[in-house]
């Protein structure tokens, strides 16, 4: 029998008990092979941290947590064996007994030295620590930061559904026969992890049976009876229905620590169509079940992730998959929530009814599905990742817009670079303009550069300085994480790991790559355009005067700012401004890839120009810039024009977007904000412009349909606009739940 509890219900004593048992287990198996230690710890963690179903839930699966445990990436700075100091201290601050204080102090002493991120940081050499000090993103000022997680995994849920828990255990037991000790430990660890998953299935079955003891309406009772049978069946057998398949995927997704769900129509469509076509369930029931899955996914509250990809080339049963696409879009339209982040891959082969349904959903204000052109992205991924055309067909956007190859590649963004901050320190001889802190090598400042080319050369050199150490850090993070963790649930559903007998980061994954998040690209380009024209060509602004203007945030230098604002800007189909954006884009993308090849053995190391809210967060630590932007304010969103700078209309803006090469990175995002009137009354023109955009090389579009007056009113009367959805960057949100500076950044974007 299992004790049923979740984070919100766990008493302080229960949290301490779980953490102590987890720690005792880790210590007991500290010298055992990493897969065995991890598996035994997972057995303690699950289902202990899983939470109660509510009366509205159609599926079991609510993930809780305690401040000590194992997870690849539940939070941004969490990897492997984690120690959540903030929530740990909250428990310490409670009224706990003397014995509990002793236990907590002992736990703290142990995990301060043994959590995975701490061991990774200890492995950095002096040069890496000097180049990228241990700054705390997003609170400290820096040009580059390190991040800690195993992110963007796209698991092979089809393999899980095809075989089921019991058959997978049998396959692992067979592979253990006759293999060496290391391989045997890996296979045994995965078996134990599957046993923990089966325990979770039975845990929720017990919970459902308990719910059935209470007075409930007949329809709910019928569903719970079916769910109880399903949970018992999937605890050992293969799923045989749409409901069973959904339930197994939800529980594995939660327990594995993976945050995205891959190409869902490739693994759930056949269960849906088989049930409907056989008359086992109606279309209405199928819709109800998928809506219930969408709710189960939303409870985890991961708006930067929770990607569900549908459509596109490379699917086996396109007829069933397309039918599932319609079901998924309808679920998104009915739920109107910020997750899952429904993503539609499309091509000329995509049925028109799917495209119409997608645009209807967007037009309703759902912000989903996001649109990805296979005609552009497949050849771009093939070239950027160096894979075959067939492999590139399995590209999968995740998170805020990064790409990986579904269950074949890893591309964790373990580093971040603020290009506008790099330009700031370039202009100020390696120092932060406001604090004076040295953040980069002292290779001169703008008053030392006699030509624009000299300035650009030093800017590039500064970028490349950081890129070297960011690449080295990425590989180091993988190496140390692998020495501590097998990531068993990932390894189980990644191609080649089981066959090779190797964990995900131990030679198991087919393509081990990394990515670097780049921000401030467009403000940097516009700044360089202004400097080139006004400082070096027209000489209407003296270099020293520009630096003083930036240091003072243009106070007393309003005329200088006006000149900077009037310089050409990206987003207007202006040749010179767009060429500068191309230069900045080409440089950071190509040099990132070169750094990966030169300094690491990673299969690829690529830039991603995405956005969560980092343009706002990083902007707070960035001085005024030569494009006229004020200090400590937001930067441009991904590779979109800076807010309000695209003054020549939608066509000109789209023409600028397509000039940035899509074949040299691992993801870029574009956000477009349409008015309700434009999207409804002039729909034919909007569709024609978007068609030309994609035909001209546009890779992707994230579209919000909204009224500016709604946004402004929502800031004044948030209680009346609780369901107003907006696209922030690489994620959607309820507008009224955003910080004020994020709200103002969205309002400032051009509305077409």
Q: What is the DSSP code string of 58-81?
A: SS---B---SEEEESSSSTT--EE
Q: What pLDDT shows up at residue 7? A: 46
Q: How far is CA 52 from the centre of its chain?
A: 27
Note every long-range contact of 627-630, with CB atoms under 8 Å and residues 24 or more positions apart, other chains counting.
627/523, 627/526, 627/527, 627/529, 627/530, 627/564, 627/565, 627/567, 627/569, 628/530, 628/554, 628/561, 628/562, 628/564, 628/565, 628/567, 629/523, 630/553, 630/554
Which tokens hold the place of 563? 């000149």
Note the pLDDT of residue 3: 44
Strands (E) located in 129-187? 144-146
**Distance between CA atoms of residues 211 and 511, nearest Å:** 45
Look at residues 329, 382, 375 and name the one whose alpha carbon lies nearest to residue 349. 375
Residue 212 CB burial class (10 angstroms; 0-12, 13-18, ≥19): middle
Distance CA 216, CA 29 (A): 46
Contact 172, 187 (CB under 8 A): yes
Report the phi/psi class of residue 350: left, alpha or beta, with left for phi > 0 and alpha for psi in -120 to 50: beta
CA dihedral 64, 69, 72, 74 (to 10 degrees): 30
| Predicted pLDDT at 610 | 87
Provide the greatest CA pair distance for the chain. Answer: 82
Query: What residues contact 741, with CB distance under 8 A and at least 6 apart?
Result: 616, 620, 633, 634
Token pair belonging to 591: 């040099």
How deeply is 479 buried, as exposed, middle or buried, from its count of CB atoms within 10 A (0-12, 13-18, 19+)?
middle
Measured distance CA(168)–CA(680) in Å, rounded: 51
Listed by start position, the domains of the chain span 12-140, 263-398, 410-673, 706-752
Beta strands across the sheet bearing 370-373:
307-311, 341-346, 370-373, 700-705, 671-674
Q: How far is CA 319 from the centre of its chain?
A: 30
pLDDT for res 246: 99
Q: With CA atoms as reference, report the closest residue to 723 among 363, 369, 365, 368.
A: 365
Q: Which residues of 311-320 are buried (b: 16+ CB within 10 A; e: fewer)?
A: bbbbbeebeb
Joined together, the tokens standing for residue 725 give 């959805």
Collect the ranges in the chain with pLDDT lower than 50. Answer: 1-8
CA atoms of 585 and 520, how far apart (whole Å): 11
Judge contact between 443 and 429, C-beta under 8 A: yes
Helical (H) or strand (E) element with 341? strand 341-346
345 in Cβ contact with 309 (< 8 Å): yes
């Amino acid at each position: 029998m299992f004790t049923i509890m979740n984070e919100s219900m766990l008493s302080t004593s229960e949290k301490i008990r779980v953490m102590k048992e987890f720690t005792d287990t880790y210590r007991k198996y500290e010298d055992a092979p990493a897969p065995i230690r991890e598996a035994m710890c997972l057995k303690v963690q699950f289902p202990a941290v899983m939470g109660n179903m509510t009366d509205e839930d159609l599926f079991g699966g609510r993930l809780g947590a305690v401040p000590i445990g194992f997870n690849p990436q539940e939070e941004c700075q969490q990897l492997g064996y984690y120690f959540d100091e903030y929530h740990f201290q909250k428990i310490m601050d409670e009224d706990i007994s003397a014995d509990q204080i002793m236990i907590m102090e002992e736990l703290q002493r142990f995990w301060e030295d043994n959590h995975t991120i701490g061991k990774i940081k200890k492995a950095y050499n002096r040069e890496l620590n000097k180049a990228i000090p241990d700054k705390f993103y997003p609170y400290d000022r820096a040009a580059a930061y390190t991040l800690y997680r195993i992110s963007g995994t796209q698991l092979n849920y089809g393999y899980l559904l095809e075989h089921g828990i019991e058959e997978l255990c049998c396959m692992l037991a067979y592979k253990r026969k006759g293999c060496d000790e290391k391989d045997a430990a890996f296979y045994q660890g995965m078996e134990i992890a599957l046993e923990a998953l089966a325990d979770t299935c039975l845990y929720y079955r017990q919970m459902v049976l308990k719910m059935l003891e209470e007075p409930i309406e007949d329809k709910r009772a019928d569903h719970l009876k079916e769910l109880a049978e399903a949970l018992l069946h999937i605890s050992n057998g293969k799923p045989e229905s749409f409901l069973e398949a959904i339930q197994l995927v939800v529980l594995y997704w939660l327990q594995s620590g993976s945050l995205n769900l891959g190409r869902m129509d490739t693994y759930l469509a056949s269960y849906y169509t088989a049930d409907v076509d056989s008359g086992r369930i109606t279309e209405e029931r199928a819709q109800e079940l998928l809506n219930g899955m969408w709710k189960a996914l939303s409870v985890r509250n991961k708006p930067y992730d929770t990607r569900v990809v549908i459509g596109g080339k490379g699917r086996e049963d396109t007829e069933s998959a397309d039918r599932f696409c319609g079901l998924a879009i309808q679920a998104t339209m009915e739920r109107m929530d910020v997750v899952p982040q429904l993503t539609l891959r499309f091509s000329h082969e995509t049925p028109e009814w799917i495209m119409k349904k997608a645009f209807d959903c967007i037009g309703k204000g759902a912000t989903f599905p996001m649109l990805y052109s296979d005609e552009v992205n497949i050849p771009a991924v093939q070239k950027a990742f160096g894979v075959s055309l067939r492999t590139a067909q399995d590209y999968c956007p995740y998170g805020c817009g990064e790409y990986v190859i579904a269950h074949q590649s890893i591309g964790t963004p373990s580093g971040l670079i603020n290009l506008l901050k790099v330009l700031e320190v370039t202009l100020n001889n390696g120092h932060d303009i406001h604090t004076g802190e040295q953040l980069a090598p002292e290779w001169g400042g703008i008053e030392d550069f006699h030509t624009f080319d000299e300035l650009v050369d030093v800017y590039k050199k500064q970028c490349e300085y950081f890129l070297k150490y960011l690449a080295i850090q990425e590989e180091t993070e993988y190496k140390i994480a692998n020495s501590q963790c097998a990531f068993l649930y990932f390894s189980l559903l990644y191609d080649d790991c089981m066959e090779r007998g190797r964990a995900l980061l131990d030679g198991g994954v087919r393509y081990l790559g990394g990515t670097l998040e780049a921000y401030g690209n467009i403000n940097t380009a516009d700044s360089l355009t202004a400097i080139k024209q006004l400082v070096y060509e027209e000489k209407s602004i003296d270099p020293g005067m520009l630096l003083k203007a930036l240091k003072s945030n243009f106070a007393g230098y309003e005329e200088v700012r006006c000149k900077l604002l009037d310089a050409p800007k990206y987003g207007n189909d202006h040749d010179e401004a767009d060429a500068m954006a191309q230069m900045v884009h080409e440089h950071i993308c190509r040099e990132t890839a070169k750094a990966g090849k030169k300094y690491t053995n990673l299969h690829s190391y690529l830039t991603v120009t995405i956005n969560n809210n980092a343009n706002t967060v990083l902007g707070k630590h960035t001085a005024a810039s030569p494009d006229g932007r004020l200090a400590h304010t937001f930067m441009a969103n991904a590779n979109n024009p800076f807010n309000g700078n695209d003054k020549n209309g939608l066509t000109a803006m789209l023409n600028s977007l397509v000039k940035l090469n899509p074949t040299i990175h691992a993801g870029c995002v574009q956000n477009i904000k349409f008015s309700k009137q434009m999207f409804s009354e002039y729909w034919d023109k909007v569709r024609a412009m978007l068609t030309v955009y994609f035909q001209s090389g546009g890779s992707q579009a994230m579209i919000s349909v909204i009224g500016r007056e709604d946004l402004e009113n929502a800031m004044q009367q948030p209680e009346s606009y609780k369901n107003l959805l907006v696209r922030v960057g690489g994620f959607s949100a309820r507008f009224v739940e955003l910080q004020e500076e994020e709200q103002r950044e969205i309002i400032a974007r051009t509305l077409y």
